[in-house]
Amino acid sequence: EVQLVQSKAEVKKPGDSLRISCKASGFSFNTYWIGWVRQMPGKGLEWMGIIYPGDSETRYSPSFQGQVAISADKSVTTAYLQWSTLKASDTAMYFCATSLGDYAGHSFHIWGRGTVLIVSS
Amino acid sequence: SYELTQPPSVSVSPGQTASITCSGDKLRGVFVSWYQQKPGLSPLLVLFQDRKRPSGIPERFSGSSSGDTATLTISGTQAMDEADYYCQAWDSSTAPVFGGGTKLTVL
């Protein structure tokens, strides 16, 4: 079964660092783009960036360039989203998604269930 | 980067046709996808490559694209279609982009 399993909810303080994960299974992890989407409370979906695990090519949306780091570990078929210094404004739901087969290159039809991040002092 | 513009809200009566537009000056030559999101759930792909339906998506969902505007049409709208809908485009050299989202109300 093709699936993306995301790490558990996190509660952090401003200034903390964090890495959340997205474990892929059921497909060739190396050969499809996988990406991260932010949804702030009551707001719309925002693409943060995508990574191609085969060669680690990463593309960031302009709003997120320099704010987060996206990476992938082929050995454990897992994608990561990392912050070095969290802010209260990072409080959001974070989804990972991938684009396979007929959908590759234009659509994302496999989604994780999301990781809730709360950043509060 | 580029921007995609959607109407914030659309209302439709049950059984009628709902249309949601997505416009952007860079949509020409780029495929548009549409996602449905219900409260508390992950997005669900309902259309890809402008007009194709993934397996399991009802035929009442259709799409079109012309010039710089793509349109999601829901024929015979049902109460279960009430949700937020997002268009998305992805060209070959950047990260994908979502529209701002449209809240579809069935009343």
Question: Edge-to-edge strand order for the sheet containing B69-74?
Answer: B18-23, B69-74, B61-66
Query: Given an 8 Å threshold on Cβ–Cβ distance, is A113 in contact with B42?
Result: yes
Q: What is the pLDDT of residue B8?
A: 98
Q: What is the pLDDT of residue B1?
A: 65
What average pLDDT does range B7-28 have in this prediction? 95
Q: Which of B2, B45, B53, B92 to mutate to test the interface with A (most CBs of A within 10 A)?
A: B45
Q: What is the pLDDT of residue A110?
A: 97
Q: Higher confidence at residue A103 or residue A68?
A: A68
**B100/A contact by beta carbon, under 8 A:** yes
Percent of chain A scored above 70 by pLDDT?
A: 100
Cα–Cα–Cα angle for A48, A83, A89, rounded to 5 degrees? 70
What is the band of B26 on the pLDDT scale with cuts at 50, 70, 90? confident
Q: What is the pLDDT of residue A69?
A: 98
Per-residue pLDDT reduced to its tens digit, B47-85: 999 999 999 999 999 999 999 999 999 999 999 999 999
> How many CA atoms within 13 Å lie on the side-chain side of A103?
22
What average pLDDT does range A46-72 have in this prediction? 97
